[in-house]
Amino acid sequence: MTNNDTYHITLLSDVSMQSKLFKDSLERGIQLDVEIVSLDDLRNGRGDESSLGDFVLIDFSYLDDSNFELYNQAKSVSGLNAKEIVINCPKDVASTHLFKWRNLVGVFYVDDDISLLLKGMEKIMQDEMWLSRKVAQDYIEHFRCANSVTTSQVYANLTKREKEIMRLLGHGASNLQIADELFVSENTVKTHLHNIFKKINAKNRLQALLWANNNIALEERV
């Protein structure tokens, strides 16, 4: 699926037959090593760069409030800014329950099968997000500044097509959905996104969404 062998992927879970089977399936699909790290590991001080990696997969039901604080402390100690992926999420969960993960880039639901998860992981490792449109829109609203935002000059200097792509990005559209909407190729969208990210000093879609939150007036994002 990807030949980038530099990614470090963590599965935050107790070590069990089920988690080992999931780890094996994931490793075969993404052709990368996945390390299982439990809450006990974090309590014992293993929350360092060797255990919390570039991507952390988190079972929705695994962290209660106290354990979430333990995870945050371990993440702080690691000094890493891991991208967070929630798995086994209930279909009817309120979006606000997901936003405690500040680096959320993907959500997979309890009835998603492994093939869908692998497809989503491929997109995530290509710096896309795997969120439903509703979750993506709620995410933007959740982090929107309380005060009204004035559109920055940087946004004003984007081309018309770049502004269209930023608007669709803000609505949670994937590269393919943006391409279909604008009648261009997916590669063209990727090129535009690369140019946009460079102009706004963003490294990925998540940073671009947060930038839009603080630099584009709400009426220009709808």
What 3-state DSSP class applies to 33? Answer: coil
CATH 3.40.50.10740 for domain 142-220: no
Q: What is the pLDDT of residue 194?
A: 93
pLDDT over 90 percentage in the chain:
34
What 3-state DSSP class applies to 13? Answer: coil
Taking alpha carbons only, the member of 123, 88, 121, 81 closest to residue 102 is 81
Residue 132 has pLDDT above 70, yes or no: yes
Residue 205 has pLDDT above 60, yes or no: yes
Q: What is the pLDDT of residue 146?
A: 46
Lowest mean pLDDT among 148-152, 169-173, 202-206: 148-152
Cα-only R_g, the chain = 18
Mean pLDDT rounded to a whole number for the chain = 83
Residues in the chain, total: 222
pLDDT band (50, 70, 90) for residue 186: very high
pLDDT band (50, 70, 90) for residue 3: very low
Q: What is the pLDDT of residue 158?
A: 92
What is the tens place of the pLDDT at every residue in 75-121?
777 666 788 999 999 988 888 788 788 788 899 999 999 999 999 99
Q: What is the pLDDT of residue 109?
A: 94
The whole-number average pLDDT for the span 176-196 is 93
Angle between helices 160-170 and 175-182 (to 10 degrees): 130
For residue 11, list its beta bridge partners.
36, 57
For 9-130, the fitting CATH number among 3.40.50.2300, 3.65.10.10, 3.40.470.10, 2.40.30.260 is 3.40.50.2300
Q: What is d(CA 87, CA 110) in angstroms, rounded to the nearest whole number?
A: 7
Residue 1 has pLDDT above 80, yes or no: no
What is the tens place of the pLDDT at every residue in 8-53?
899 998 889 999 999 999 999 988 889 999 888 887 765 444 567 7
Domain ranges within the chain, ordered by starting residue = 9-130, 142-220
